[in-house]
């Protein structure tokens, strides 16, 4: 069975994964991550995945947060489940600047995302999840290598910041396979790539 490449990211109504303040400006996204729908979505994304593919910024940020959640018995069960998955999963970090892996069960690769994914797909294992690493997701969308998109749409317009779907991406078709709407208006969706 071929390994699927899945990607998860949260976006505002105007398609941004951060606000005008830059990568750390997540004010239009964070309030929805801790809702019931947001946490259900977090549990869903690891289904069948055994490898996490991350950009350097996310790898370093995740390392500073998730391992502690994995050991926190008072943490939300969804958060703890994701944290345990991440700690135990194979982690591949794409970076041109890191010289050593930032945490256990991880390795650093200095190569284009598409090349790394093709190498991973040729090896045995479960699905490959790119979680919130927008630069990696963009590169894989450009190469048409993503099989499933987990999108969380937050009901705010950021008015600035970086967009996921830039002009110039190849035209592709997707099928909605799951949708859940939360009390705050957030929508968690799963789209599978429709291939001829």
Q: Which pLDDT tens digit goes with each residue over 160-178?
A: 999 999 999 999 999 999 9
Please state, rounded to an integer, the average pLDDT across all residues of the chain: 94
d(CA 136, CA 112): 9
Q: Which CATH class is domain 8-165?
A: alpha beta
* pLDDT-above-90 percentage for the chain: 86
For the chain, the domains span: 8-165
CA 68 to each of CA 82, 84, 112, 127, 179: distance values in angstroms, whole numbers, following the listed order:
12, 10, 31, 25, 30
d(CA 12, CA 153): 6
What does pTM read for this prediction? 0.94
Tens digits of residue pLDDT in 117-176: 999 999 999 999 999 999 999 999 999 999 999 999 999 999 999 999 999 999 999 999
Q: What is the pLDDT of residue 62?
A: 87
């Amino acid at each position: 069975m071929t390994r699927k490449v899945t990607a998860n990211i949260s976006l505002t109504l105007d398609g941004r994964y951060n606000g005008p303040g830059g990568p750390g400006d997540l004010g239009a996204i964070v309030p929805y991550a801790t809702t019931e729908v947001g946490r259900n979505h977090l549990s869903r994304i690891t289904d069948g995945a055994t490898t996490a593919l991350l950009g350097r910024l996310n790898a370093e940020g995740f390392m500073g947060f998730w391992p502690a959640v994995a050991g926190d018995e008072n943490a939300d069960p969804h958060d703890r489940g994701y944290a345990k998955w991440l700690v135990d999963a194979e982690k591949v970090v794409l970076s041109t600047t890191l010289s050593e892996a930032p945490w256990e069960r991880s390795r650093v690769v200095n190569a284009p995302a598409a090349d790394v994914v093709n190498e991973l797909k040729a090896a045995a294992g479960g699905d490959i999840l790119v979680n919130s690493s927008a630069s990696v997701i963009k590169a894989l969308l450009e190469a048409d290598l993503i099989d499933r998109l987990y999108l969380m749409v937050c009901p705010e317009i950021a008015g600035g910041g970086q967009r996921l779907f830039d002009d110039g991406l190849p035209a592709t078709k997707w099928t909605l396979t799951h949708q859940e709407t939360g009390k705050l208006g957030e929508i968690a969706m799963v789209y599978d790539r429709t291939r001829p």
